[in-house]
Copies of this chain bind each other. A is one copy, B any other.
Amino acid sequence: MDKTLKRMATMQRMQVTGLELFYKKGYYNTSVDDILKELSLSKGAFYYHFESKEDFFIQIIENLLVRKMYSMLIEPIEGHENTIDLITNCFEEALETAVHNELDFGFVLSNFVNEFNGKNEKVMKHLNDILRIWEANLVSAIQRGKFNGYIDRHVDSEGVAVYLMSAYIGVRTLMVETAPSARKYRFMSQLRQYFKSLEPKPENAFNRD
């Protein structure tokens, strides 16, 4: 059907532009009209496709944010190669897009968490879901790393996961204004230093689970 195609296309356009503006100016500071003006569409079109601004935003989360998080921060660390390298490269690349001021979805997420925390429970539920997925995937990557001998068996997988997420979210906050490129470089150096402390200790003889 041509009509359903058009419908999908319009909704997609609205969501892409919506995410962009919500990210740049914040959800509450972006009016529906702002988005519509960008697309030369009208209020009627918007409320024909979406129930409300909130519903619109939740669909953006489910359709765009979740998928991008997967492709940028989850899938890249799923292989069986050296876990530490995988995570390092993954962060490196994600932060590089941040340096160029493009949409970095890990940060988009934490940005929204900040904006909605304590203000909109419904939206927060969806955002927390993504955070949990990210965390779970980091944890299993680390456990895989232990199993494959890239990470010391005594490290606390969940601890490392929380720590990595913290560091990533934090450095993105710091990169927003001052010397993003320099901060990225320094951050990555320290991250590597931290990762070294997770490597298997030599005195621990070769052992399998």
A contact residues vs B (CB 8 Å cutoff): 24-26, 28-29, 110-111, 113-115, 117-119, 124, 128, 131-132, 155-156, 158-160, 162-163, 165-171, 173-174, 176-178, 183, 186-187, 189-194, 196-198, 209
Decide: A114 and B115 in contact? CB cutoff 8 A.
yes
Cα A170 to Cα B170 with chains together (Å): 4
Kindly list chain B residues whose C-beta atoms are within 8 Å of the C-beta of A159: 186-187, 189-190
Cα A161 to Cα B96 with chains together (Å): 20
Which residue in B25, B29, B176, B178 is a CB contact (below 8 Å) of A132?
B178
Whole-angstrom distance between the Cβ of A132 and the nearest chain B Cβ: 7
Whole-angstrom distance between the Cβ of A119 and the nearest chain B Cβ: 6
Chain A contact residues, majority secondary structure: helix
Decide: B197 and A183 in contact? CB cutoff 8 A.
no
Given A177-B124, A193-B194, are A186 and B171 neighbors across the interface (CB < 8 Å)?
Answer: no
Kindly list chain B residues whose C-beta atoms are within 8 Å of the C-beta of A119: 25-26, 29
Q: List 16 A-B contacts (CB under 8 A).
A: A25-B118, A26-B28, A113-B176, A113-B177, A124-B177, A155-B193, A156-B189, A158-B186, A159-B186, A159-B189, A162-B183, A163-B186, A169-B174, A170-B171, A170-B173, A193-B198
Whole-angstrom distance between the Cβ of A70 and the nearest chain B Cβ: 19
Cα A81 to Cα B24 with chains together (Å): 43
Whole-angstrom distance between the Cβ of A179 and the nearest chain B Cβ: 9
Residue from A124, A160, A192, A197 having most chain B Cβ neighbours under 10 A: A197
| Nearest B-chain residue to A197, judged by Cβ | B197
Which residue in B29, B117, B186, B194 is a CB contact (below 8 Å) of A177?
B117
